[in-house]
Chain A
């Protein structure tokens, strides 16, 4: 027998049952496909709750999105734009939907600036590529897209480079569906704050636009900031470790008689605008209160710390502080029980901010959670992943920025 690694690995016997296992895997996937297709479109709002937490599939997206976002402060559904110096902006005239049994495909928003056209599409069809056909029959591929999957639904932003600046009539091509949609010229405002009632604090301007739906009040939020990346608006489900440290975990509507109405669901997501639904009818004297905003600091990174893997049953004190901008993470100690290695940390935040989450780097897999007895946040590592020593560092913290944004909704 050979003494070569590749040959030795190729000699690992493959059992005959492998085909049965493959068949089971594929059948399970078929079943899941069928299950996903059996949901009603009315559940779409609930699905976006999951979408918020499961952002995946970004392909060449950041660059294009940033360019379009810079050029447009476009408000889907209202068709107004801020700052039209970049050129003429067209936007979706009406949302269009294709339904076929239990499946649906809806164009939620569209905007076009020059030869750049962006589409926001939601569907419960199995994911597939999306193409654009113009009124002259020219077909475009998505130059970039971002698609998020949540439960039985997905929502995606697709960016196309089109031939004709003035064209208003298009078709979305998806599987064998041709869904026509029309763009119209948008209304224009000179200033972001003209879009609706607003409030400012901590260098962040927030605008709220309200819309009465059948049984809910929809509040659409937009923000404008020079130097911060707003990750989330206040909603309990978007909190991680700061959840227990802040009293008011969500935005709310304050009625004239002091009653607080919390949002039942967020709908859309992303930075251009987010919609929130409240179980209340529009009335006089309503105020929207946002006690914090979630901010992410993409550029922050700590230095690295090398930790010696302890022996079973041992605990080693470390007491080293890693700085992350104005935040700091104190590595208190490391202990080991059998194959589990636990690093205890204390997270420190500047005044008016609470560190909510931080990305742990240097190791492949980990668990993270609070220790209620010690108050530490603990990192759980599997011995299999570690050598005699291992390296840790932290980056891209997300924090809760406490503030006072109260927007009059009258």
Chain B
């Protein structure tokens, strides 16, 4: 292994972090299903990643590195706390009426997913993993990964996409 020396100062780090902040928040929200916890996870991810920024050996891996931290923080929080099942109506305030209804249903359905299903969605959507990579990461078969993914889509009442 060859270590590439990179140094990131606070300004550069903030720029990189801000580039992916919406992904981090939405990933966290996918797991915890409420705004307050998702924001806490963003904060914890900023703290943890900045503290260990020197462990990042390749800037091009910043996105996957930071999302991995956020995913771990989300799962940690789920382990510690019981899931909050009350919806955040306030987060839909600025959404147009037509979209508000379908998004509200989607967010409600998101809460019904198991952790296994959320893990697959996060890897598929945020990390752009293939089913083979997901199977490898989670130690499951490709067909299990696919069936969990499609079950999740069913729960979310979404159509199967071309994947």
Contact = CB atoms under 8 A, between A and B. Distances in A.
**Main SS class of interface, A:** mixed
Contacts of B78: 382, 384
B61 interface: no
Contact of A59 (B1, B5, B83): B1
Interface of A: 1, 3-6, 8-15, 17-19, 21-22, 24-26, 28-30, 32-33, 57, 59-60, 126-129, 131, 141-145, 339, 364-365, 382, 384-385, 387
B39 A15 contact: yes
Contacts of A129: 3, 5, 54
A32 B47 CA distance: 9
Contacts of A385: 79, 115
Contacts of B131: none
Given A1-B99, A8-B156, A11-B95, 6 more contacts: A1-B102, A25-B50, A128-B7, A141-B2, A384-B78, A387-B116
A151 to B, nearest CB: 13
Given A1-B102, A21-B40, A142-B3, A29 B55 contact: no
Interface string B34-58: 0100011011111110111011000
Contacts of A29: 46-48, 50-51
Interface residues of B, number: 57
Contacts of A9: 26, 30, 121, 125
Most chain A beta carbons < 10 A, residue from B14, B39, B103, B153: B39
A209 B18 CA distance: 54
Contact of B158 (A5, A30, A384): A5
Contact of B91 (A15, A26, A126): A15
Given A3-B159, A13-B94, A8 B42 contact: no
B21 A18 contact: yes
A257 to B, nearest CB: 51
A3 B99 CA distance: 11
29 contacts: A1-B98, A3-B158, A4-B158, A6-B161, A8-B103, A8-B106, A10-B26, A11-B95, A11-B99, A12-B107, A19-B18, A21-B40, A21-B42, A22-B14, A24-B43, A26-B50, A28-B43, A29-B47, A29-B48, A30-B10, A126-B54, A127-B52, A129-B54, A144-B1, A364-B115, A365-B79, A382-B79, A384-B78, A384-B115
